[in-house]
Structure 1
Amino acid sequence: MASFIIRRLIASIFVLFAATFLMYLLVSLSGDPLEDLRQSNAPNKNELMEARTKLLNLDVPAPLRYFLWLGAVFRGDFGISIQNQPVNALLGNAITSTLTLVTTATVVAIVLGITVGIVSALRQYTGFDYGVTLLSFLFFSLPIFWVAVLLKQYGAIQLNNWLNNPTISVPVIIGLSIVIGLIWMSLIGGRWRRRLIVFGVATVATGIVLTFLSVTQWFADPSIGIVVFAFLAIGIAVGVTAISTGLRNRNALIASLIVAGIGIALYYPMVNYLLNGMTLPLFLGLMVLTIVVSGLIGWFRGAPDRAPVARTTAIVGFLVAGLIALDKYMSYWQAYANSSRVRGRPIATVGASTPGLGGNFWVQGIDLFTHLLLPTIAIILISFASYTRYSRASLLEVMNQDYIRTARAKGLTQRTVVVRHAFRNALIPITTIIAFDVGAIIGGAVVTETVFGWVGMGRLFVTALDAHDPNPVMAFFVVTGTLAVLFNLIADLVYAALDPRIKVG
């Protein structure tokens, strides 16, 4: 494997050299960096043109100028923009902004798309499958700029108006309850009597919950509470165990319930005292500690099959801790929404943060979330469609293989067949798609960044192209090209981990 990685890295270096050379020549021929100065009426126009020519080495032929640029890159310097700004600083700010925006959306789209695609494949030709197919093609065909504008209108302006008096009307409660009931009915499947029972229970339960949220105006001052938290924690323990190892594995179920019980016991002291003086390093440290401790509980309780149990309890611990953090964020929602800077309109439409907001770790986290909400949804809606279709098609293909029929003939349960045999091989083509998407992730969502006022990699690239500014364009290309090559190498290694028949060599 080491020799394979070294060979791939050496080949990738030569590919990047050739690609950057061609890109530099194309950028140099695409326009004149002195065009704005030539059209200027400034009295010192000639001096300005001479200074920019010297700054960008424009008096050197483009092929030779490339090697001057490459030598500076080897020293970690991407040069100066035509506005006399260090490109390193521009690139650092753009990468941070883009990673904040697009990475969150992409991770959610991958998890949600793969999950829905797998369920759709397992419920092939049902109402749920047809509904997911319809929504996937609908989202895939929608122009991103149109989706972004609609989200600003209805997801921010109208929603902020509603949050001033967050009551849900009776027709909306009835409509949402019926829709949720239909979704659960199609998910559970089975005979019509069973479906109707599921539909009735889900519809009534949803109606009761929505009525309670409306009467108490929960959205004005949201919280989870110990009762709901305990119910959700136990549900997470049972649900994760059912998917990961199966409920027949009593050691895994008991270990997961122990982790959930510890979370319930720590709920009050964590929410009311221990999380008050939170910082980002401490938050990340606590999250890592939670995963490690939860995994150790599964390891010691899971003999003789320790690894799957430890994995299960680590996931349960992470999710339960996430619920505690979510409840702590909720406790600051009202203070954030009513602050002088936000003024009762918490869902932001532009920018990455509220200027001059201040506040503690939790308030800053809410502010980041409200600014990420709409652009993240816009990207998720478009990406969700492709991941759903790829995962559905891949799992259906795998489920028709001979080894899947053999596994079923041996008497293995449906969960074991899907999770342990089919799911891993179904991930192989999806891994390819994700690896190719990484360049686009770091490249930034140009339209989304423009509509929502994010200054990221996409905006940096387009602005530099418009100004015929070569150094920011090349910095963008080096970063995205390097990451695309790197993640394609990682994808090759993941293939071998997912399928033992694939050898890296």
Structure 2
Amino acid sequence: MLKFILKRLGSSILVLFGASILLFFLTVHSGDPLEDLRESQSNNRENLIATRTAFMNLDQPWYVRYWDWLKGVGGCVTGSCDLGTNRSGQPVGELLSLAAASTLRLVVLATVLAIIIGVAVGIITAIRQYSGLDYAVTFLIFLFFSLPVFWAAVILKEYLGIRFNDWIADPTLSWPALLLAALIAGLMLQAVMAGDAKRRLFTFATTAAFVVLVGWLLFAMDFWRNPRMGPIVQLLIGLAVAVGATIVVAGLRNRSVLKAALVTVALGMVGYYATYGLLMTNPSGLLLAGLGVLTILVAIVVGRLLGGFSKGSAVAVSIVTALLMGVAIVAEHLMNYWPTLLRMKPRPISVIGSGTPNMEGHFWVLFLDRGAQLVLPTILLTIISVATYSRYTRSSMLEVSRQDYIRTARAKGLGERQVILKHAFRNSLIPITTIMAFDFAGLIGGAVITEQVFGWKGMGELFATGLREVDPMPVMAFFLVTGTAAVLMNLVADVLYAVLDPRIRV
């Protein structure tokens, strides 16, 4: 396996080398970087031309400039990266670090959401093949997949940005909108749950009534401007996640898994009270990351100790329960500071930019502000990527479900849950892994249009500026990140293949 990985890594480096030469050559010869200065009527035009020529080494042949860039990149091995300067004399390395942090913040979240939603939708539609749900989801998926990115971005800015900001200033209950939301929720859930006509009608009516009741209560409590949760809501969330995850993964009859999930909920409530003061007085990103790692470790220990003969399932359910309870705890702290953000920033959802200039305040206020900046571009990238994941998951699940070993598993009397999750789903993940690996790198490159529409100062803006100004250094910095991401994610896919299918190791 190590020999195979090294071989793939070597070939990938050669591909990156060839592609970098081609990209540098095309960028350098795509226009005249001095065109704007040649047309200038400024008295110091010649000095400006000489300064830019020195910054960009325009007096050197393109291959000499490329060699200088390559030597600077080679210095990254020893920790002394030199990615050159742009035409204004700014170090590209500093620009790249800021742009990469901004874009990765967007792309990582969009990728995770797209994988979770897309794979879940793909499994459900594969199980319910040729049903009304399958046809409806297929229509929506192809609709999302064919949406022009710039058009969808404008629609999101109008309805989820501008109009939401107008509404949140004075939230009013719109009964037609609430009834429409209840109708859609009821139709979707009854389609997913299936069953006979009586069961479908009961599911639809119960869901619609629940949505109407909750919506009315939220308005009565002024939840949209003063949201709050509390320990009882936290406990209910934990219990709902624990029971739901147990049903999906192992079934309620598996008492060991259910016990591990419930113990995780109890420990989560202990953590809620133990960390409340700390997260209120001295929060930080490092603290949240440390608590997240600790949460996963505790969940693993609980699953291993109480899982019995189903340790793997118990660990999985415990981790899901612990993480979602952790997210709920963080959400409560964010809710506590939502009114503060509204006072500082009456229009919270930003439609332009990746951050509010000169924004200062408490950690949770800044957290909320940055999260609000992420909402619109994340939704856009997610709905586009969900189409790919759901279609590949559905087709892979259908192909695997027709295999002989699936029929054998059913003939042996295994439950449908075990057949789907332990046999069909794991083997169907092999082709999906390829899509997951390359989609991450693809989203970094594909976010160029999204970042342009939303004014996001990230990798897309760096790349577009370099092309527009015929400046190869920002373009090559963009290529360095996306190309390296493609190579690394390809290697990750190779390793995951061996984990999912042990035959590949041989």
Same fold (TM over 0.5): yes
User: CA–CA distance in 2 between the matches of 1:20 and 1:357?
Assistant: 39
Measured at CA, do residues 224 and 125 of structure 1 come closer, stay the same or move farther in structure 2, by a change above 3 Å?
farther
User: CA–CA distance in 2 between the matches of 1:479 and 1:152?
Assistant: 29
User: CA–CA distance in 2 between the matches of 1:356 and 1:44?
Assistant: 34
1:77 equivalent to 2:82? Answer yes
Aligned amino acid, residue 232 of structure 1? I
1:218-274 Cα shifts (integer Å, max 9, x gaps) = 111112233332222111111112223332321111011011123234445544665
1:427-466 maps to which residues of 2 (within 5 A)? Answer: 427-443=429-445, 445-466=447-468
Q: 365-374 vs 124-133, which deviates more?
A: 124-133
Measured at CA, do residues 423 and 275 of structure 1 come closer, stay the same or move farther in structure 2, by a change above 3 Å?
farther
1:132 equivalent to 2:146? Answer no
**Other-structure match for 1:371:** 373
Measured at CA, do residues 404 and 166 of structure 1 come closer, stay the same or move farther in structure 2, by a change above 3 Å?
same
1:413 equivalent to 2:418? Answer no
Superposition deviation, residue 356 in structure 1: 2.7
User: CA–CA distance in 1 between the matches of 2:68 and 2:269?
Assistant: 61
Aligned amino acid, residue 461 of structure 1? F
Of 226, 229, 232 in structure 2, the residue corresponding to residue 227 of structure 1 is 232
User: CA–CA distance in 2 between the matches of 1:54 and 1:345?
Assistant: 45
**Other-structure match for 1:113:** 118
Equivalent pair of 1:444/1:456 in contact (CA under 8 Å): no
Aligned amino acid, residue 8 of structure 1? R
User: CA–CA distance in 1 between the matches of 2:338 and 2:22?
Assistant: 51
User: CA–CA distance in 1 between the matches of 2:426 and 2:309?
Assistant: 24
Equivalent pair of 1:32/1:468 in contact (CA under 8 Å): yes
Residue 481 of structure 2: SS of its match in structure 1?
A: helix
**Other-structure match for 1:2:** 2
Q: TM-score, normalised by structure 1?
A: 0.95
Aligned amino acid, residue 284 of structure 1? A
Q: TM-score, normalised by structure 2?
A: 0.94
Superposition deviation, residue 207 in structure 1: 1.5
1:321-470 maps to which residues of 2 (within 5 A)? Answer: 321-339=326-344, 342=345, 344-443=346-445, 445-470=447-472
User: CA–CA distance in 2 between the matches of 1:272 and 1:49?
Assistant: 59
User: CA–CA distance in 2 between the matches of 1:437 and 1:211?
Assistant: 40
User: CA–CA distance in 1 between the matches of 2:101 and 2:478?
Assistant: 13
Measured at CA, do residues 49 and 160 of structure 1 come closer, stay the same or move farther in structure 2, by a change above 3 Å?
closer
1:25-174 maps to which residues of 2 (within 5 A)? Answer: 25-75=25-75, 76-174=81-179
User: CA–CA distance in 2 between the matches of 1:106 and 1:70?
Assistant: 31
Q: 485-494 vs 412-421, which deviates more?
A: 485-494
Aligned amino acid, residue 382 of structure 2? I
Equivalent pair of 2:106/2:374 in contact (CA under 8 Å): yes
Superposition deviation, residue 294 in structure 1: 2.0
Superposition deviation, residue 45 in structure 1: 2.8
Aligned amino acid, residue 110 of structure 1? I
CA RMSD of aligned residues (A): 1.8
Superposition deviation, residue 378 in structure 1: 1.4
Measured at CA, do residues 273 and 11 of structure 1 come closer, stay the same or move farther in structure 2, by a change above 3 Å?
closer
1:93-131 Cα shifts (integer Å, max 9, x gaps) = 111111112221121112111111111111222222222
**Other-structure match for 2:242:** 237
User: CA–CA distance in 2 between the matches of 1:155 and 1:63?
Assistant: 48
Equivalent pair of 2:108/2:440 in contact (CA under 8 Å): no
Equivalent pair of 2:257/2:310 in contact (CA under 8 Å): no
User: CA–CA distance in 1 between the matches of 2:475 and 2:7?
Assistant: 29
Of 280, 283, 294 in structure 1, the residue corresponding to residue 285 of structure 2 is 280
Measured at CA, do residues 347 and 53 of structure 1 come closer, stay the same or move farther in structure 2, by a change above 3 Å?
closer
Residue 501 of structure 1: SS of its match in structure 2?
A: helix
User: CA–CA distance in 2 between the matches of 1:283 and 1:98?
Assistant: 21
Measured at CA, do residues 273 and 54 of structure 1 come closer, stay the same or move farther in structure 2, by a change above 3 Å?
closer
User: CA–CA distance in 1 between the matches of 2:405 and 2:206?
Assistant: 39
User: CA–CA distance in 2 between the matches of 1:311 and 1:461?
Assistant: 40
Superposition deviation, residue 55 in structure 1: 3.2
Measured at CA, do residues 171 and 54 of structure 1 come closer, stay the same or move farther in structure 2, by a change above 3 Å?
closer
Aligned amino acid, residue 170 of structure 1? W
Q: 239-248 vs 192-201, which deviates more?
A: 239-248
Of 179, 187, 190 in structure 1, the residue corresponding to residue 192 of structure 2 is 187
Of 257, 264, 282 in structure 2, the residue corresponding to residue 259 of structure 1 is 264
**Other-structure match for 1:481:** 483
Aligned amino acid, residue 2 of structure 2? A
User: CA–CA distance in 1 between the matches of 2:2 and 2:278?
Assistant: 49
Of 299, 319, 328 in structure 1, the residue corresponding to residue 324 of structure 2 is 319
Aligned amino acid, residue 89 of structure 2? N
1:13-64 Cα shifts (integer Å, max 9, x gaps) = 2222221112222222212222222222233333433333333332332233
Superposition deviation, residue 201 in structure 1: 1.4
Residue 504 of structure 2: SS of its match in structure 1?
A: coil
Measured at CA, do residues 492 and 182 of structure 1 come closer, stay the same or move farther in structure 2, by a change above 3 Å?
same
* Runs of 5+ unmatched residues, structure 1: none
Superposition deviation, residue 83 in structure 1: 0.9
- For these two proteins, the number of residue pairs brought into alignment is 501
Q: 330-339 vs 171-180, which deviates more?
A: 171-180
Equivalent pair of 1:103/1:441 in contact (CA under 8 Å): no
Aligned amino acid, residue 193 of structure 2? I
Aligned amino acid, residue 120 of structure 2? T
Equivalent pair of 1:79/1:88 in contact (CA under 8 Å): yes
* Runs of 5+ unmatched residues, structure 2: 76-80
1:152-180 Cα shifts (integer Å, max 9, x gaps) = 11112211222123232222222221211
Equivalent pair of 2:466/2:472 in contact (CA under 8 Å): yes
